Amino acid sequence: MAAVLDPKAAGALMRAIDGYQGQPLTRAALLLSALLFQRPGNIRAMEWAWIDFEAAMMTIPAASMKRTIEGKINGRPHFVPLAPQAIEVLKEIHALTGHGRYVFPSARTGERPMSDATVGAALRRLGYTSDEMTAHGFRAMARTLLIERLPGIQADVIEAQLAHGKSGPLGAAYDRADYMEQRRQLMSIWANYLVQIKNGAEIIQFKQAGVAA
């Protein structure tokens, strides 16, 4: 699952997405893939019922997460705080698809979400081969740059936002509302960073430092 991991290359990717000339919904899916760094299946199958504009939160039901059957049935939902940039993208496309179930409905029928190949095809259209960047690569891009380039972000907070499972007796409790304030800060810091590198801001590598949980 190839990914862009260098800040300058990531900035170039964000500029390419910003100038995408294809369908508006596909461009929005690319932007939200970068801003939210959730699994591609959760991006393309995103439902308007999951979005709370007032609370600036997306809540993905447990049944829609990559989990065991037990986790899907009895697990807690996954919370994704929405930075202002993500809210802006969602509000822009609400006028297009807000009347239906899916944020990104299929072009053929609104009864299904967009194809799992759409974001990948858009990346190819932007000139990125499958060996350079993939839909899943936005997750690796976020995790790498957050850890290596931004100060004061605790790895556990990033892992919670990625919805990575945690072994041990705590198990699924890891992805509850723990670290929620830090996760809100994380998503805002990340969205602002994407804007900065898109605009060609100077990239400074910080020493890794943990934010208190």
Contact present, 30 and 37 (Cβ < 8 Å): no
The single residue of 44, 136, 149, 198 carrying the catalytic annotation is 136
Structural tokens at position 156? 């556990």
- At residue 213, what is the residue type? A
The single residue of 66, 99, 112, 125 carrying the catalytic annotation is 66
Q: Would residue 174 show up in a list of annotated catalytic residues for this protein?
A: yes
Q: Would residue 139 show up in a list of annotated catalytic residues for this protein?
A: yes
The single residue of 27, 44, 139, 149 carrying the catalytic annotation is 139
Q: Would residue 72 show up in a list of annotated catalytic residues for this protein?
A: no
Work out the burial of residue 194: count CB atoms within 10 Å of its CB; fewer than 13 is exposed, 13-18 middle, 19 or more buried. buried
The single residue of 39, 44, 67, 149 carrying the catalytic annotation is 39
Contact present, 35 and 190 (Cβ < 8 Å): yes
The single residue of 67, 78, 143, 174 carrying the catalytic annotation is 174
CB contact set of 75 (below 8 Å; sequence gap of 6+): 62, 65, 67, 172, 175
**What residue spans of 46-179 are helical by DSSP H?**
69-74, 84-97, 118-125, 137-149, 155-162
The single residue of 15, 101, 164, 184 carrying the catalytic annotation is 164
Structural tokens at position 25? 């919904």
Distance, in Å, from the CA atom of 31 to the CA atom of 29, rounded to the nearest integer, reads 5
Q: Would residue 78 show up in a list of annotated catalytic residues for this protein?
A: no
Supply the residues annotated as catalytic.
Answer: 39, 66, 136, 139, 164, 174
